[in-house]
Amino acid sequence: MNDNPVRREDVIYRQLNEAEAILYDLETGCLHVLNSTAMLIWEACDGAHTIEDMVTVIKEQYARTDSRGVAKDVRATLDTFAAQGLLQQSEHSIAAGEPLPTSKGAR
């Protein structure tokens, strides 16, 4: 996964209240409901914020001190976004389940 995730521009984001938002994927017609933590992560998927930046924001917002646990949660959320096709693919990222690229002629 790219260290600076970028959300797809054609996914519609609407915050419903302080604790909930929805994403509507125009390409697939799927609707996704986000909790407040996933909302913060989605908003930070602008290409300017690193995964570490996201961890810091979550730790500050929820007064958590366990960096390892927060990092695991952030990565799990980003993996879900990627698996649902909600993030842009970069040439350096591999989506979950895709085989690693190989050189021609490699055995």
Domain residues of the chain, as ranges?
A: 11-83
Rounded mean pLDDT, 40-55: 97
Task: Give the SS3 label for residue 55.
Answer: helix
**Of 24-28, 64-68, 77-81, the least confident:** 64-68
Percent of the chain with pLDDT over 70: 82
- pTM for the whole thing? 0.81
Q: How far apart are CA 42 and CA 98, in angstroms?
A: 23
The helix (run of H) or strand (run of E) holding residue 25 is strand 20-25
Phi first, then psi: what are they for 22, rounded to 5°? -125, 150
Task: Give the SS3 label for residue 70.
Answer: helix
| CB atoms inside a 10 Å sphere around CB 106 | 6
Mean per-residue pLDDT of the chain: 86
For domain 11-83, which CATH number applies: 1.10.10, 3.40.30, 2.40.128, 1.10.600?
Answer: 1.10.10
In this structure, the strands spanning 11-17 and 20-25 are antiparallel
